[in-house]
Amino acid sequence: MQVHHLNCGSMHPVGAPAVVCHVLLVETNNGLVLIDTGYGLRDIAQPTRLGPTRHYFRPALATDEAAACQIERLGFAREDVRHIVVTHFDVDHIGGISDFPEAHIHTTAAELLGAVRNPSLREKVRFRPAQWAHGPKFVEHTPDGEKWRGFAAAKELTDIAAGIVLVALPGHTRGHACIGVDAGHRWLLHCGDAFYHPGTIDGQTPVPRAVRTLEPILALDRKRVRDNHARLAELYRRGEPDLLMLCSHDASLFAHAKSTA
Ligand SMILES: [Zn+2]
């Protein structure tokens, strides 16, 4: 499947390096599929939708970065997006779902529970119901049973297309997931916010202090996030030649993925 790498949300967090929102646009036999959405046009028109954390993360909120606009620039229509698979429900990952009201929104059952159906007090503060107030068609999945590259809890989303795999990796949020995509010449593993910086998985590039400070603050379950780092680092060390590991926010990983697509 052909995959386009889109930055759908430049951010300039206070005291930290500038970051991107790395979104995948996948051309399948079953229409277009988005992996995450970044910020959407409604967030840009009404930034209060994002809550007070926007003053720390300082998103650019540029119309030309919205997935809907980038898709049209590539010559597609917004209606061509039939499915959106999200890593989790934080504002910088699902803001764009309202720009594709007919698309099915695929997520883990645990994430739907934590963000929409039965959020704890902490989750109520974290997630922004305005982003799903348009009544999207959620499709919930419980990845278990199937194995994928050493992960026990995975599920190939064959109802969308062969070669799209949801891998449960809770920790950052209750139902956070990584998403594997068969891009033909390689597999991509979009790890969302399971890690923020390449140094976390390669063990060599220094991780900026701001990133090391922020990651546990944003984690719902710090121990699980640390365990996830270890598992992802192990996968990276295996050096599987056909696998490229990505995360949502690192600008260098985004630039590398885009230039080698
Ligand atoms: Zn994020």
What does the pLDDT read at residue 144? 86
Distance 72 CA to ligand 1 centre (A): 24
Distance 27 CA to ligand 1 centre (A): 24
What's at 20, amino acid-wise? Answer: V
Distance 229 CA to ligand 1 centre (A): 16
Which domains does the chain show, CATH number per domain? Answer: 2-259 (3.60.15.10)
Distance 130 CA to ligand 1 centre (A): 17
Q: How is residue 48 written in tokens? A: 């209060």
Distance 149 CA to ligand 1 centre (A): 24
CA distance 138 to 132: 10
What would the pLDDT profile of 19-34 be if each residue is shown by its tens digit? 999 999 999 998 999 9
Distance 85 CA to ligand 1 centre (A): 15
Distance 90 CA to ligand 1 centre (A): 6
Distance 99 CA to ligand 1 centre (A): 19
What does the pLDDT read at residue 146? 80
Distance 213 CA to ligand 1 centre (A): 15
- Give the SS3 label for residue 2: strand
Distance 165 CA to ligand 1 centre (A): 20
Distance 22 CA to ligand 1 centre (A): 9
Residue pair 88/175 in contact by the 8 Å Cβ criterion: yes
Q: pTM score > 0.85 for this model?
A: yes
What would the pLDDT profile of 196-236 be if each residue is shown by its tens digit? 999 999 999 999 999 899 899 999 999 999 999 999 999 99
What does the pLDDT read at residue 26? 98
Residue pair 78/88 in contact by the 8 Å Cβ criterion: no
Instruction: Kindly give the pairing relationship between strand 31-35 and strand 151-156.
Output: unpaired
